[in-house]
């Protein structure tokens, strides 16, 4: 479906700034934020017209700058039309099936990449006890590998871990070692008991690695400037641990590949538990161009943490929200203004002599009083107004300046 042209808009109210002249609305917003690099857009609300117009324009801007795009998709359904991205000149690819390594965790080596491993275990919510058991598990695997295959490097691969996935496989290895005279019966019993203590932790770790295998074992393929790589994390809503780990891998990749030739777009469904997205928004590097499209950004975190999220985006676009509380939050974020209200009163003289036809005709039988009360602070945009926005109507906010617009 072809999106409406961003040239068709009406500026309903503008608080501060210059006139629009002949600029399109979105180019005007980019001009407002040109003093900042990069300009980051936050578009929140359930208005698909606003979302599609801004998303299309951001894709066009990124293409003009030669940027590749990473999309973190946590929406209920794809928020942008792949056909539009193709017409702009992008090739849309599935990041989960691309074979692009985000985090070189494999092979695991306790001596070389202990810090990386501990960071991964933290994301997996491993307690210190479980970390200690996993360390013992790897020591056991390293011992077997060195005895059987003479592997002294300490490198452990996924297929290596799979060889120790059950007690039967380990018993067979121990029996073979005992037959060769490398261990005795007492040592065999010790290793069996030791494996029983740590095998459950090893199985949990193996399960997580198998799910993330495409992201940790592929090649470090550079992004091409005509690519949009989509990482759909909404499919892992039932497994928040894996979801959090994918976000952590993406953050690691972005930090390790800091450059100015790619942008990041975050798509948020606006409901449910989304702590992984909250962590990403708080932790992405400040020199990366990140744009976020949310059905309702105000449900991402608590009210106390809301400022941390909003302050990561210099340009904020508020559309209609389904939640009354979120409409109220939009009203609060847009601030207040002084409103001086004028009252009008009419006093009629009811005496018979004051109501002669000439008095009524000339109005001399009454007195009018206009009173202006001292200014009071009121919301610039009431929540009831935000809740009743027509499609394409929204509020743009940049550094305290706000404007009401209609696409």
The pLDDT, as a whole number, for residue 260 is: 67
Here the tokens at position 142 are 């390293």
Pairing of strands 68-74, 91-94: unpaired
- For residues 335 and 381, the answer to whether their CB atoms sit within 8 Å is no
Q: Where exactly are the structural domains of the chain?
A: 10-98+219-336+381-406, 114-215, 341-374
The pLDDT, as a whole number, for residue 313 is: 93
Burial 108-143 (b: 16+ CB within 10 A, else e): bbeeebeeebeebbebbebeeebbebbbbbbebbbe
50 vs 393: CA distance, rounded Å: 8
Residues 6+ apart with CB under 8 A from 128: none
Q: Judge residue 58's burial from the number of C-beta atoms within 10 Å of its C-beta, 0-12 exposed, 13-18 middle, 19 or more buried.
A: buried
The pLDDT, as a whole number, for residue 326 is: 94
- For residues 231 and 246, the answer to whether their CB atoms sit within 8 Å is yes
Q: Which mean pLDDT values do the consecutive 10-residue runs of the chain (407 residues) have?
A: 40 50 56 66 92 89 89 81 86 80 68 69 75 82 76 69 79 84 84 84 77 70 83 82 81 75 90 87 87 94 90 92 93 84 77 70 74 81 92 88 86
The pLDDT, as a whole number, for residue 156 is: 74
Q: Judge residue 33's burial from the number of C-beta atoms within 10 Å of its C-beta, 0-12 exposed, 13-18 middle, 19 or more buried.
A: middle
DSSP classification of residue 363: T
Tens digits of residue pLDDT in 230-247: 988 888 887 777 788 788
DSSP classification of residue 219: B
The pLDDT, as a whole number, for residue 309 is: 93
Q: How many CB atoms lie within 10 A of CB 88?
A: 15
DSSP 3-state of 13:
strand
The pLDDT, as a whole number, for residue 297 is: 95
The pLDDT, as a whole number, for residue 22 is: 36
150 vs 158: CA distance, rounded Å: 18
CATH 3.40.50.300 for domain 10-98+219-336+381-406? yes
61 vs 148: CA distance, rounded Å: 57
The pLDDT, as a whole number, for residue 201 is: 83
């Amino acid at each position: 479906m072809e999106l409406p042209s961003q040239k068709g808009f009406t500026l309903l109210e503008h608080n501060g700034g210059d006139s629009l002249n002949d600029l399109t609305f979105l180019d005007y917003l980019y001009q407002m934020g040109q003093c900042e690099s990069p300009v980051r857009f936050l578009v929140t609300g359930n208005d698909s017209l606003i979302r599609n117009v801004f998303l299309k324009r951001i894709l066009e801007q990124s293409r003009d700058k030669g940027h590749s795009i990473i999309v973190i998709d946590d929406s209920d359904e794809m928020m942008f039309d792949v056909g539009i991205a193709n017409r702009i000149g992008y090739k849309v690819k599935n990041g989960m099936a691309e074979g692009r390594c985000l985090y070189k965790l494999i092979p695991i080596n306790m001596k070389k990449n202990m810090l990386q491993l501990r960071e991964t275990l933290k994301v997996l919510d491993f307690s210190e006890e479980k970390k200690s058991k996993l360390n013992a598990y790897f020591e056991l695997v390293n011992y077997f590998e060195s005895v059987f295959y003479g592997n002294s490097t300490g490198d452990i691969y996924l297929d290596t871990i799979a060889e120790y996935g059950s007690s039967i496989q380990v018993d067979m290895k121990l029996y073979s070692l005992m037959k060769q005279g490398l261990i005795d019966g007492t040592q065999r019993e010790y290793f069996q008991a030791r494996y029983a203590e740590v095998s459950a932790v090893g199985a949990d770790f193996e399960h997580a690695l198998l799910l993330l295998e495409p992201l940790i074992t592929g090649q470090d393929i550079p992004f091409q400037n005509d690519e949009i790589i989509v990482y759909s994390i909404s499919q892992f809503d039932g497994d928040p641990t894996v979801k959090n780990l994918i976000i952590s891998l993406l953050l690691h990749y972005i930090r390790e590949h800091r450059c100015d030739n790619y942008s990041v777009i975050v798509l948020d469904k606006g409901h449910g538990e989304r702590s992984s997205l909250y962590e990403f928004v708080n932790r992405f590097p400040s020199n990366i161009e990140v744009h976020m499209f949310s059905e309702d950004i105000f449900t991402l975190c608590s009210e106390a943490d809301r400022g941390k999220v909003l302050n990561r985006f210099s340009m904020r676009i508020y559309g209609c929200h389904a939640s009354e509380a979120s409409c109220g939050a939009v009203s609060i974020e847009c601030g207040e203004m002084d409103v001086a209200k004028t009252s009008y009163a009419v006093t009629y003289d009811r005496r018979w002599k004051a109501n002669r036809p000439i008095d009524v005709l000339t109005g001399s039988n009454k007195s009018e009083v206009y009173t202006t009360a001292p200014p009071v602070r009121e919301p610039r945009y009431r929540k009831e107004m935000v809740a009743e926005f027509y499609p394409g109507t929204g509020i743009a906010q940049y550094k305290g300046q706000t404007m009401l617009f209609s696409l």
